[in-house]
Amino acid sequence: MKRTMKHVLAPFVLGMLFAAPGQADAFTQADLDRWQAEYMATVDKGEKLFHGGLNSSNTVSCDQCHPNATNIHPETYPKFQQQLGKVAVLGEMINWCIRNPLESEPLALDSADMIALQSYILYERRGVALAPGKH
């Protein structure tokens, strides 16, 4: 992932935006720390949304059925969701839960809240091997 970042994104995006003399791959430990802190801040936001922080019309929250974000299996998406009749991404199942047990309005798949929820869910599942399609 870091190699992709370095070789693909950095030269084009950063180069074009800043046209600065710095080298694209010259990131420092301070950069790494900042990026990790940005991610963890999003995880923390997701953790709060997951534990009652969503605008839930009936007060039900994600953690009631999924303590520590268990039984979500983010490593298995995208997968064929037989109940939806198609291959779905995790965000679609999160929205299914928001619509049904939470009886609330779904989130845009690219919304900050949806990204935060997925950041938290994936963080609690760190270390588990990818298993796309698994049931």
Partner 1 sequence: MSKTINRREFLKRGSALVAAGSLPLSLVEVAFGKAAGENFTFAYISDSHITHVKGSEFVRNWDRGLIRAVAEANLLDPRPDFIFYGGDIAQLGKAEEIDHGLEILGGLNGKVHYVMGEHDYYLDLGDYWKKQLGPDHYSFDHKGVHFVVLNSILTFDDWTNNKWPTAAERMHQMARLDNPQGSPFMVGDAQREWLKTDLEKVGKDTPVVVFSHSPIQKIHKGWNFWTDDAEQVQALLKPFDKVTVIYGHVHQIQYNQIGNISFHSAMATAWPWPYPSTYTQVQTWLPKLTVEMNRADPFFERDATGWQFINLHTGNVDMSYMLPDNSNRVVAFDTRAGKPVDTKYQAVANRIPPQTHY
Q: How far is the CB of 81 from partner 1 (least distance, A)?
A: 9
Dihedral (Cα; 64, 68, 71, 77), 10-degree rounding: 120
Closest to partner 1 by CB, 14 vs 128, is 128
Q: Of 22-30, 35-43, 51-59, 106-114, which part binds partner 1 (CB under 8 A)? A: 51-59
Closest to partner 1 by CB, 98 vs 107, is 98
Q: Of 15-23, 30-38, 93-101, 113-121, which part binds partner 1 (CB under 8 A)? A: 93-101
Kindly tell me the burial class for residue 32, based on how many C-beta atoms sit within 10 Å of its own C-beta (0-12, 13-18, 19 or more).
exposed
